[in-house]
Amino acid sequence: MKGSNHPYRAHLHELTRRLEACLEGSGFNGALIPAGRPPLVFRDDLHYPYRPNPWFCQWCPEAHPGSLIVVRPGNRPLLLFRQEDDYWHMPPIEPSGPWVSEWDIRVVRSTSEARSDIPAGRYLLLGEPDADWEGLAEANPTGITQCLEYLRASKTAYELSCLAEASLRAARGHLAAEHTWRGGGSEFDVHLAYCAAVGQRDDELPYRNIIGFDRHGAVLHYQHLERERPPHSRSFLIDAGASAAGYAADITRTWVADSGDFSALVRALDATQQRLADNVRPGQDFRTLHCTAHLEIGQLLAEAGLVRCGAEEAVDSGVTRTFFPHGLGHLLGLQVHDVAGTAAAGGGDIPRPEGHPFLRLTRTLEAGCVVTIEPGIYFIDMLLDEARADGRRRLIDWDRVGAMYPYGGVRIEDNVVALPEGPRNLTREAFLALEA
């Protein structure tokens, strides 16, 4: 964390206020928040990559396995920093930076030492249950956890600074990825260039990079990295992020080798995406925005000659879902698909619109909510085959689809903050900063 610690101090005060409000009347007087540990691979002595508890990252910028946060409203937060004696691995370096002045930090060498340093009290535990803290706290009581998850959607100024830094790192990686693709690199080469530009290993990225050339762009979560490049790659879709102090960026771009019809489709979708992003404001029902996106996609499909009907008929008939089968976006923060996207303020869930089972966000946006806006148009065999087999067949221009089919698909995704003064597009902001 750079510069003044005042945004971070205000962030801690806000987290404490939220915790105190959610604990009211519960009988709990504090929370234990473990950093977590990497699990062992089955029948092996190796561990899976470490993914820290996101609740821990919300409070503390540095997460190390075995560490524990103790929060008691009215007291300074306590960090029990695990630094075991170990000649197999390098022990973590003690925390430093402006943020440490807001904490009581104690270095502990063992679980028993950590347990003895926990002040007396009745605690809840936020995070995966861990034998180290068994008997000390009740893990994830439903009502309190739902309360905290709902509030987590509105980001503090400190959190927005972390998300902006993550976006800047990811934008740097995207530019390196495009350069490598245009220079003749394979999917694997692009992945390596991306990681080098971001400065993060695979297991430090918030999610596995989606790097698809040509038809691979039609696979929404394409999971392979081909080592050999196709002789004539037409297009390149990359969905890749970066992390900063536990916060995630989630960005998608699509690049085209020629200047033909598919390139025009990419430009048109980019313009559509920016119009949709301009609606990310407090008070916006995201379900309505998702349905608006389908009308926009319907209009774009008509203008591109892919369908033989108007936008409204394309939506009503389900044709738009053939080409755009996923949700418009989701909450973003400590997790890529952050929690409580469908949560109602008083408990329970807000239903998805009929016919849209994959929408991850149904809430009305509040100030400080950070969302992805990611419309797409894809030529997916399974969905095209379903449309051929029913009444949608007559509404689709199959020759036009065939011409664009080899390109796979296009998706444009930005990370946008809902603010009273208007949306803040962290992604476009990051790319502009790198052009300066």
Task: Give the residue-averaged pLDDT of 258-273.
Answer: 97
Single-letter residue type at 35: A
pLDDT at 359: 98
157-435: what fold?
Creatine Amidinohydrolase (3.90.230)
Residue 158 has pLDDT above 50, yes or no: yes
> Mind listing the pLDDT tens digit for each residue in 40-68?
999 999 999 999 999 999 999 999 999 99
CA 261 to CA 269: how far, in whole Å?
12
Q: Decide if 65 contacts 37 (C-beta within 8 A).
A: yes
Instruction: Say what angle helices 426-435 and 157-182 make with each other, to 10 degrees.
Output: 60
Say if pTM beats, i.e. exceeds, 0.85: yes
Q: How confident is the model at residue 6 (pLDDT cuts 50, 70, 90)?
A: confident
Q: Decide if 26 contacts 155 (C-beta within 8 A).
A: no
The closest of 293, 270, 272 to 358, measured between CA atoms, is: 293
CA 315 to CA 298: how far, in whole Å?
6
Q: Decide if 195 contacts 201 (C-beta within 8 A).
A: yes
> Mind listing the pLDDT tens digit for each residue in 323-379?
999 999 999 999 999 999 999 998 999 999 999 999 999 999 999 999 999 999 999
pLDDT at 3: 44
> Mind listing the pLDDT tens digit for each residue in 125-149?
999 999 999 999 999 999 999 999 9
Boundaries of every domain in the chain: 6-151, 157-435
* Sign of the CA dihedral with 255 first, then 259, 260, and 265 last: positive
> Mind listing the pLDDT tens digit for each residue in 390-417?
999 999 999 999 999 999 999 999 999 9
Largest Cα–Cα separation, the chain: 72
pLDDT at 5: 62
CATH number of the structural domain 6-151: 3.40.350.10
> Mind listing the pLDDT tens digit for each residue in 175-205?
999 999 999 999 999 999 999 999 999 999 9
pLDDT at 343: 98
Tell me the sheet residues that pair with 242. Answer: 249
Q: Is 198 left (phi over 0), alpha (psi -120 to 50) or beta?
A: alpha
Cα-based distances in Å from 420 to 83, 282, 318, 333: 44, 6, 35, 19
pLDDT at 346: 86
Percent of the chain with pLDDT over 70: 99
Cα-based distances in Å from 201 to 166, 267, 406: 14, 32, 32
